[in-house]
Amino acid sequence: MKAWKVCLPILAVSAACGREENAAVALTPRPAAYNVDKVQKTVEFHDTITTFVVETVAQKDVPLTLKAPAYVAARVQGYNNIARPIVVFDEAEKSNVLNHYLQKLSLLKLAEANAERVKDLYEHGAATGRDLIEAAAEVTQIQSDVASAEMELIEKNFNPADLKAPKVGTTWLLCDLPESELNTLHKGMTCRLEFPGYPGETFTGTIDAPAAVLNVQTRKVRVRIVVDDAAHRFRPGMYATASFDFGHTGLMVPRGALFTAGSKYYVFVQSEKNRFHAREITVSTDAGNYIEVHAGLKEGENIVVNHVYLLKGLVFGI
C-alpha cells in the first residue's frame, strides 16, 4: 500500500499538468482601435486612451524681435564759440563729403546771387547776353555739383536736408537688416538700442529712412536710426545692437503641431471628432512658439497640437 501512496499523487500531478503549455491566451478579442487609410493619409479612432488636443487655426499677431548690429555714424554737437553745430562722423571721409556738400551749397548760393545780379544788369543793359548765359551756366554747373554731393551723402546713408541744418544732440546710427525684413520696417518705427559701453541700459531710436540701395553681396539694406543724445553720451564709432520689435500677423500654428515627412511639413487636421488627416503645408515666419503657415491651411480649421508623431506613425509608418 505504501507504494500506491507514492504513485497515486505522482500520477495525479502528471494528469493535472496536461495541455497547459502554449495554450493560446484567451483574451477577449478587442475591436480594432483605429482605421488608417495610408493613401488618403487619414486615421479614424474608435477606441483610444490617448487624448489628442486640437486648436483652431486663426490669424494671430505674434511679437517678433529682429536684432541687428548698428554703429554710431554721426553726431551733431555744438561748441560755445561756434555758431553753427558741428556734425562729427565716424570716418573722415564722410566729413569730407559733408564739407564738400556744404561748400557746394555755398557756391550755389553765390552763383545764384551772381546770376540774379547779372540778370538785373542785363535788363538794365549793363550786362551782355553772354554774361547772362555764363551766369546761368555757372548756376547749373554748381547745382549739378550740389546734386552730386547730395548723392554721395545719400550713398553714405545720410539725409542732406538733415545735415544742412542739423539739430544739436541728434545722433544717427546705421544698421544693416536683411532684405526679407524690408516689408516690416518703415520710417518712424522705433527700436531698442543697447551699447556695450552702457551695459544694462536701453535707449530708444527711430528709423529715419531705409537706404535706397541694397547690398548685392550681403543682401542687406542699411537703415538709418536717429536717437536723441542731448546728454552727449554717444560717440561716432560706438557699436550697438538694435532690436526691432514688431508684431507679425499671419495664420499661426503652434510649433508642436508641425512634423516633417520626406521633405515636407505637415499638420494633422481634424475632420471629425476622432478623425484626422495629414495635410501638407508650407511655412514662412518662425515666431518662437508659433510658426506662420503660408499655404495649406484655412482659418477656422482644427489641427492637432500634441502627439502628432503618434499619428505620423499610423499614417506614414514608423
Cβ-count burial of 191 within 10 angstroms (0-12 exposed, 13-18 middle, 19+ buried)?
buried
Among 8, 40, 47, 202, binds other proteins (CB under 8 A): 47
User: Could you identify the residue written with the cell 476622432?
Assistant: 274
- Is residue 239 a contact point for other proteins (CB under 8 A)? yes
Pick the closest to residue 210 from 187, 226, 194 (CA basis): 187
Smaller CB separation from other proteins, 219 or 232 = 219
> What string marks each residue from 50 to 89 as x (binds other proteins by CB under 8 A) or -?
x----------------xxx-x------------------
Helix (H, G, I), strand (E, B) or coil at 272: strand
| Closest separation in Å from C-beta 314 to other proteins | 4
- Is residue 19 a contact point for other proteins (CB under 8 A)? yes
Q: What is the number of other CB atoms lying within 10 angstroms of the CB of residue 251?
A: 21
Q: What's the CA gap between 203 and 192, in Å, rounded? A: 6
- Is residue 272 a contact point for other proteins (CB under 8 A)? no
Smaller CB separation from other proteins, 75 or 312 = 312
| Closest separation in Å from C-beta 118 to other proteins | 52
Helix (H, G, I), strand (E, B) or coil at 50: coil
Q: Between vectors from CA 206 to CA 200 and to CA 212, what angle results, nearest 5°?
A: 125
Smaller CB separation from other proteins, 125 or 317 = 317
- Segment near other proteins (CB under 8 A); pick from 14-22, 84-92, 103-111, 198-206: 14-22
> What string marks each residue from 277 to 296 as x (binds other proteins by CB under 8 A) or -?
---------x----------
- Is residue 241 a contact point for other proteins (CB under 8 A)? yes
Q: Between vectors from CA 96 to CA 93 and to CA 102, what angle results, nearest 5°?
A: 145
C-alpha atoms less than 13 angstroms from C-alpha of 300 in its C-beta half-sphere: 0
Among 92, 129, 217, 273, binds other proteins (CB under 8 A): 217
